[in-house]
Amino acid sequence: MSALIEGIKANNFIIVGRAGMDFFADPPGTATEDATVFHAGLGGSSANIAAGICKLGGQAALVTRVSDDSIGRYCTNQLAHYGVDGTYVNPVGGEYRNSLAVYESRIEGHQSVIYRNGAADFQMDLADVEAVDYSRFGALITAGTVFAAEPSRSATFHAFSLAKKAGLPIIFDVDYRPYSWPSAEVASDVLSRAAAHCDMIVGNDEEFGFMAGDIAKGLDKARDLSKTSATMVVYKMGPEGAITFANGEEIRTGIYPVEALKPTGAGDSFMAGLVTSLAGGHDLKTAILRGSACASVTVSRPGCAPAMPDTQTLETFLAEHSGPTES
């Protein structure tokens, strides 16, 4: 546990994975098919986590590929806007394109449409991850989508090896997105292999259930990973809170109820809040709750990266909001 926390306390993260563009209809509550106005924002799980960390006072660098066009440049400009180090973000030409998410700021009838064909980030290769000076960072973070296709899959496993050699703990958000994978069987095998290399694993009940082959076995899967490979496992249950396995303990935490505007961005914001809170010296239970508060702030506002709280917003929310719920 100490090596994981010491790495996180550096508050300087190398993050592997995609950056994309989000479109969300305006005003909130508008269905996509009825919209005449859309706002753009930074998207992609890894980019969102990086932006969230920087907004909360940490440092983050992203390793990925972006399309060599105006959309790719939009993504790199947005990363810079949030203070994310783009040294290891490289353009790729040809017909590869950045991912695009079109979603709505509403809960009832929410639609989220993802365009991922020929995704530029899947072209991240061994040279991209070998260019990183891992000694600059305290920990590596990635989200599961990087493993869905080659050469990104092999490159990320190689990044794990290089990070381990440099003494960095590896933090893994399972982030299972079926549309990115050739089959559920491939996804289950690869995500399970990735999880076995990681010091900290974060996922929801459905994702752990998917890796276990049965939603009813997800909790046991999370518990087993905490005993056999990972130092810390966070099993998220949506409105029911989370169970965190660490140091032989099971820590149950609730959530901060809010009037949600949309469901997207919660997991990325949770991760950013959790690791920066641990870096700031908060105990594990408090850090988990601060991550939950970040998720609540994010789902109550339009967008993903734009909706994530900065430090002052988080502290104000915690001071003014009732909660957390009983776990």
Domains of the chain in sequence order: 2-320 (3.40.1190.20)
Confidence at residue 114, expressed as pLDDT on a 0 to 100 scale: 95
Summarize the confidence of residues 248-276 as an average pLDDT: 96
Confidence at residue 324, expressed as pLDDT on a 0 to 100 scale: 94
CA distance 51 to 15: 11
> Which residue type occupies 83?
G
Q: Which of 36-40, 61-65, 210-214 comes out lowest in average pLDDT?
A: 210-214
Q: pTM for the complete prediction?
A: 0.97
Helices (H) and strands (E) in the chain, counts: 11, 13
Summarize the confidence of residues 182-186 as an average pLDDT: 94
Summarize the confidence of residues 128-156 as an average pLDDT: 98
Summarize the confidence of residues 294-303 as an average pLDDT: 97
- pLDDT over 70 percentage in the chain: 99
Confidence at residue 203, expressed as pLDDT on a 0 to 100 scale: 97
Confidence at residue 322, expressed as pLDDT on a 0 to 100 scale: 83
Confidence at residue 25, expressed as pLDDT on a 0 to 100 scale: 95
Q: Which of 81-85, 109-113, 209-213 comes out lowest in average pLDDT?
A: 209-213
Q: Is the pLDDT of residue 1 over 90?
A: no
- pLDDT over 90 percentage in the chain: 96
Cα end-to-end span (Å), the chain:
24
Summarize the confidence of residues 283-306 as an average pLDDT: 97
Q: Is the pLDDT of residue 160 over 80?
A: yes
CA distance 98 to 116: 8
Confidence at residue 40, expressed as pLDDT on a 0 to 100 scale: 97
Confidence at residue 148, expressed as pLDDT on a 0 to 100 scale: 97
Confidence at residue 326, expressed as pLDDT on a 0 to 100 scale: 81
| Mean pLDDT taken over the chain | 96
Tokens of 66: 């972006």
Would you say 275 and 54 are in contact if contact means Cβ atoms under 8 Å apart?
A: no
Summarize the confidence of residues 250-261 as an average pLDDT: 96
